[in-house]
Amino acid sequence: MSEPILSARRLSKSYVSGDRRIEVLCGVDLEIAAGESVSIRGESGSGKSTLLNLLSGLDSPDGGELAWAGASVHVDARAKFLGMVFQSFYLIPEIDALANVLMAARMIGAPGAVERARAKELIARVGLAERATHLPAQLSGGERQRVAVARALMNSPKLILADEPTGNLDERTGDAVIELLLGLCRDTATALALVTHNASHAAKTRRQLMLTAGSLA
């Protein structure tokens, strides 16, 4: 059996609020296989975004172990190992759609002709070839999220973490973005961890999990 692309063991995380310590995650176990899609649902405040922050290396757990492709997590490797899609897009407003996609490559090094060609290919694959030179403000919410999906795939990551990627979109647009995201991950054999409150979107992934009382099931 091949090594999981992501492995989390007994992850815990708590925060201090006033004179109280609030346990958000307690003993979370999670494995994601290469190319597998997994959804994580839970009530608001259940710790879904906290969990993604730990899985991405953006935050450190209080306890437990996390491995990327069988190796210890190294922040310097993040830009190559994983891509991220957020609810609020986080595009750079002063540069156009193509340049926003290419920005992911700049996290690794100065982009060349190969990287520029890949960025153009990805913009086309998300259906925005004719909008590549538009600024984010000139794009609809759905178009901006498509740019964000293309950016997440720019460095050919092993894993994509998506945190409520349709939260700012209407239902029809959100459905289209989820289909696009799942389809591109399937086509590129990229693993996907999708945090969502939408049961129908979660049902489209290969495996569905719930975060309840700080644990996954």
Tell me the per-residue pLDDT of 83-131, one tens digit each, with 9 for 90 and over: 999 999 999 999 999 999 999 999 998 899 999 999 999 999 999 999 9
CATH number for the domain that contains residue 142: 3.40.50.300
* Residue 185 included in any domain: yes
* Residue 6 included in any domain: no
User: How does DSSP assign 153-196, residue by residue?
Assistant: HTT--SEEEEESTTTTS-HHHHHHHHHHHHHHHHHHT-EEEEE-
SS3 105: helix
* Residue 62 included in any domain: no
Structural domains of the chain, count: 1
**Beta-sheet strand order (sheet of 37-41):** 82-86, 159-163, 191-195, 37-41, 207-212, 215-216
Amino acid letter, residue 215: S
Tell me the per-residue pLDDT of 13-40, one tens digit each, with 9 for 90 and over: 999 888 898 899 999 999 999 999 999 9
Amino acid letter, residue 78: R
Q: Which residues have CB under 8 Å from 99's CB, separation 6+?
A: 92
Least confident of 35-39, 138-142, 211-215: 211-215
Nearest residue to 152 via CA among 92, 79, 215: 79
pTM assigned to the model: 0.93
What is the C-alpha separation between 118 and 131, in angstroms, rounded? Answer: 16
Domain span at residue 185? Answer: 36-53+75-206
What is the C-alpha separation between 81 and 70, in angstroms, rounded? Answer: 12
* Residue 211 included in any domain: no
Residue 44 has pLDDT above 90, yes or no: no
* Residue 20 included in any domain: no
Handedness of CA 34, 211, 155, 127 (dihedral sign): positive
Tokens representing 87 are 């609810």
* Residue 115 included in any domain: yes
Contact 38, 51 (CB under 8 A): no
CA atoms within 13 A on the CB side of 172: 0
* Residue 152 included in any domain: yes
* Residue 22 included in any domain: no
pLDDT at 185: 95
